[in-house]
Structure 1
């Protein structure tokens, strides 16, 4: 997390803590709470604006849906979640969040949280599948990064790359054809690299319930996601709507990037009011991701993760080289292949350094939202007991 973001969050949380512990008039409390709500919206806008600015073409380290960008997205989500919980719960009378319209909106938000847990599990499994693709690429890199390059090394690289390409194209093509899934963990259906690789992706990313669908789960989270209107727009209904939107967007982006079970129809936009300043950068990011999805959905692809997109392109080029390889190779072609192998090796290195920390972040998101949901349920239970008639 950038130092400025961390400092802003600490300042914001401290500010709310101090205010809620002060004895203030009702008018003063209302005015200062409005300031807190506005500051929360500003922080959400700033965080997603920074994420949007990092997706420009000259930003090589944080390309859209790259591992580093997704890790930043998860960090920003955790910041938003902490501030949201402070706004809603810190020093607040439990009865305040049990009144209409919060008595309806808050349970709907907590239901979205439950649905997000399944997505976290599916994405974590999908990242395991990505690690298997990385291993195939590493085999090809090791084989082609030899001097002199001979038929044996090229055949070994070709086998690994063929498996890599087949595995990357498998998932969405299978979904489109309605192919029956093989849900047995680790089962293999053939002796060639392509079939083994496809089964490794299948066994890791398809261990959710047979009828579970990532796209349907996202659409279910979008259900009843409506911006508050009138007087509700200036009250606590607004941060609930903002945090619900942030939660849906983050899960949507993760499912778009990482191989997950049944993603057909994921590219559908969820509505965001364009007149809201905090929503503007999120809308722009959504449009960028949806455009990438449209480019890939017809040919089938295991995910929009930037590193996998580059890996697929390089892998296909190296397969073409391997299929036409003759010893001794042409010097000019060999120089081009060397550059491609170096780039593929660099991608593997980024994956090796980033995938495991990303999985840890997703686990942190999982446990954080579980804890927060429990805290909200405790407060709602307290509010129920306070409102219950005495016998």
Structure 2
């Protein structure tokens, strides 16, 4: 993606400026200029993610689609590279162990650890989306038959009912369950009620046992919403003596990190997300954060709508799959052979649209997983470098006995 090309030029400019600082003794002014450049680029990056305000506008990525999430992660990786350059490159290490950075940097490193947990949880959630896709494809295969008969309709109905029920389980069960650590057993027969038009209570219980997430390894009681809350609880705009360039830089990157993790949790199935919208306030007084605030408000509005209904996430492809599946369930419930030509054409169109959605998931989920893993490894590497720098500085400043 184009955004990945920009950090190198940014790092080059920072490196050049650091060399100038060494010879000019203008460190403070240069740091302020570097911060201003970083803020400007963050603002520009996130403004590119804001969806068009008019339906007449053309955008290559639908809001909260897989393509949009991949662009968000790409922008994050660019910001992360720029942040590390500002914090470490050509700098006297003793600066980051002095107040207030001696508190702000460890807090940032703690947020990174929590972000790693969220990356793991989201990666498991993507596996659940892949199972939703498989159920949808079973229904597609049945309804693509011509002519459509009772057998195909019953098969499609079973798959679609299981799909809709499992989507609700992903969200509601994670919000309310007191069960122990989860494990997946996809492929078991649904048992009683599996062949009926609607899922019976017994069938729903069985589905709940099967769809409590694919390969969940998060600990009992782990909560994505609480993780976001913990990441943002001490995220405060630097003021007074703390408002110099480096504290502002750490605050900016912390805000970007929390926003990206918050968005991933909202978009994809994740363990326990109740009340997610209340956990991430961003000051509206910050100029560079205006685009981010606009995105946050839009995502929060969408989340509130879906939270009332119960949904496995805001991912655009999943929402489309859910809507089409509900419509096709209504068709299977009222099916009568032979099918009228007009109704046949309508169902064929919906099945084709569902097939297109599944194709987008099939093509996009693996690259999305790879990108989340890249984020994971990148922040691990950066955190290690910062920790090593802190340890080196601590040893260098220790008195020789």
* TM-score range for the pair, normalised by the shorter chain length: over 0.9
Residue number in structure 2 paired with 1:365: 375
Query: In 1, Cα distance between the equivalents of 2:292 and 2:130?
Result: 29
Change (3 A) 1:273 1:182: closer
User: Which of 204, 224, 233 is equivalent to 2:234?
Assistant: 224
Cα RMSD, aligned residues only: 2.0
User: Which of 47, 50, 53 is equivalent to 1:49?
Assistant: 47
Residue number in structure 2 paired with 1:111: 110
Gaps of 5+ in 1: none
Query: In 2, Cα distance between the equivalents of 1:89 and 1:279?
Result: 24
Contact 1:186–1:203 (CA under 8 A) maintained in structure 2: no
Offset of 1:201 from its aligned partner? 3.1
Contact 1:189–1:199 (CA under 8 A) maintained in structure 2: no
With normalisation by structure 1, the TM-score equals 0.94
Query: In 2, Cα distance between the equivalents of 1:26 and 1:388?
Result: 30
Aligned length: 389
Change (3 A) 1:176 1:11: closer
Residue number in structure 2 paired with 1:292: 302
Offset of 1:114 from its aligned partner? 0.3
Query: In 2, Cα distance between the equivalents of 1:23 and 1:218?
Result: 38
Offset of 1:22 from its aligned partner? 4.2
Query: In 2, Cα distance between the equivalents of 1:176 and 1:208?
Result: 14
With normalisation by structure 2, the TM-score equals 0.92
Alpha-carbon displacement from aligned partner over 1:330-363 (angstroms, at most 9, x marks no partner): 1111111111111111100100010011001111
Q: Give SS of 1:21's match.
A: helix
| Matched ranges for 1:97-108 at <5 A | 97-108=96-107
1:318 aligns with 2:328: yes
1:272 aligns with 2:282: yes
Contact 2:166–2:208 (CA under 8 A) maintained in structure 1: yes
Offset of 1:200 from its aligned partner? 4.3
Residue number in structure 2 paired with 1:90: 89
Offset of 1:240 from its aligned partner? 0.4
Query: In 1, Cα distance between the equivalents of 2:181 and 2:230?
Result: 26
Contact 1:122–1:205 (CA under 8 A) maintained in structure 2: no
Gaps of 5+ in 2: 196-202
Q: Give SS of 1:204's match.
A: coil
User: Which of 352, 355, 379 is equivalent to 2:389?
Assistant: 379
Residue number in structure 1 paired with 2:222: 212
1:169 aligns with 2:168: yes
Contact 2:76–2:257 (CA under 8 A) maintained in structure 1: yes
Offset of 1:76 from its aligned partner? 0.5
Alpha-carbon displacement from aligned partner over 1:192-233 (angstroms, at most 9, x marks no partner): 386565444314164310110110011000121000012432
Contact 2:228–2:279 (CA under 8 A) maintained in structure 1: no
